A = this chain, B = another copy of it.
Amino acid sequence: MLAEIITIGDELLIGQVVDTNSAWIATCLQEIGVEVVQITSVSDSEDHIVEALNLARKRASMVLITGGLGPTRDDITKKTLAKYFNSDFYTDQIALEFITGIFKKRNMPILDINLAQADLPKKCTPLYNSLGTAPGMWFEDKGQIFISMPGVPYEMKHMMETDIIPKIKARFELPTIIHKTFLTAGIGESFLSLKIQSIEDALPPHIKLAYLPKFSTVRLRFSARGLFREILQQELDVIETQLYELIEEYILANEDISIEEAVGRLLLERNKTVATAESCTGGYLAHLFTAVAGSSAYFIGSVIAYANDIKINELGVRHGTLATYGAVSEQTVLEMARGLLTKYETDFAIATSGIAGPGGGTTEKPVGTVWIAVVSSQNSLVEKFQLHGQREQIIQRAAINALNLLRKMLLSNE
């Protein structure tokens, strides 16, 4: 079953709004075995919408449309669809009740243009909207389905989850698609592809592999499509075993989670705590830890030691160390990490110091030079990284590498 998504709105084409709806809808459809073949964003223009509909129905048997259902004049999706399917309008009493109910709840006077939102094409099945004033519409035409939804993300999501997905499942016999994602770190995309070449070469046509790099991690996503979930699952299990044989040291998780979640789980499982002493990452590492809900169970806190005085006074880095080796050095990050471990009494402490740029680089220590240390009461791991990209990327990559270094330490302790 193939689907297309059409998002309608001038705001998308001038870059004012990033289309997040499409990715969300695509994920939803994927999960029930509907494959999205194209996503198209067009302006609030009748000709352009009709052209997009005509092209989409050539490629797909289901077209999902968002946007252009508001009450104002620039919203023309409903009118355009009614004309496209050659349908008159009627006033839908249930939609009218939803709309008047919303205005009553918000204690706002209702305008004629709002009431008119209950006028729907006779040829559609209404998709009632409990969260907003624009009803959705489900059209069937020559065996094809056209679904029109509001562009407001939370209204659209609610309509998809409660109404549209169940309707699609009931209406079609769908194939089975299952995905298996592996999070890797510490190895680049091309090296990874070399290491797992034997697996990739042996993949049957119904299993696809995608490399999804992001900063210093790469996600490997295998997608298997077929008739029987159990058989597909068995095939992916075999691949998983092979993958662990080839690249176990680089695999952080066998599911689609972030590195900060993966490391957080390791800490939680082992009942360990961590704190960070950050110079070049400037709080970004602490932010990654604390972006995970429930991180207060293992993340204690940080000293962001941007100024050298803070490194000395708060972390106990020695004057002599800074004078002899500089702030960006193995000796300094080790003293930072050890100082914090004692001060915050955690099981692990991570320290970062580096040159995020754009200024501050030298021939010896160019922009992107980052030292990272992870220490526990028994062990220490320290590594120098030469990171690329602009300031923002260097900060992000340094933080990801710090998480990966902590992970190595956690696993080596076993």
A55 within 8 A of B: yes
A143 within 8 A of B: no
Q: How far, in angstroms, from A219 to B11 measured CA to CA in the complex?
A: 11
Q: Which B residues are in CB contact (< 8 Å) with A18?
A: 18-20, 22-23
Interface range on chain A (Cβ under 8 Å from partner) = 35 or more
State how many angstroms separate the Cβ of A140 from the closest Cβ of chain B. 24
Q: How far, in angstroms, from A304 to B310 measured CA to CA in the complex?
A: 14
A392 within 8 A of B: yes
Q: Tell me the nearest residue of chain B to A111, going by C-beta.
A: B190
- Contacts A190-B111, A284-B283, A386-B107 given; does A300 touch B291 at CB 8 Å: no
A10 touches B210 (CB 8 A): yes
Q: In the complex, which residues 63-121 of chain A have their Cβ closer than 8 Å to any Cβ of chain B?
A: 70-74, 102, 105-108, 111, 113-114
A72 touches B14 (CB 8 A): no
State how many angstroms separate the Cβ of A349 from the closest Cβ of chain B. 13
- Which one of A33-41, A247-255, A262-270 is at the interface? A33-41
| Cβ 8 A contact of A37, one of B13, B213, B314, B390 | B13
Q: In the complex, which residues 280-319 of chain A have their Cβ closer than 8 Å to any Cβ of chain B?
A: 282-287, 289-291, 293-296, 299-307, 309-310, 314
> Using a CB–CB distance below 8 Å, which chain A residues touch chain B?
10-20, 22-30, 35-43, 48, 52, 55, 70-74, 102, 105-108, 111, 113-114, 131, 152, 154, 158, 179, 188-191, 193-194, 200, 208-213, 219, 221, 223, 276, 278, 282-287, 289-291, 293-296, 299-307, 309-310, 314, 344, 356-359, 386, 388-393, 395
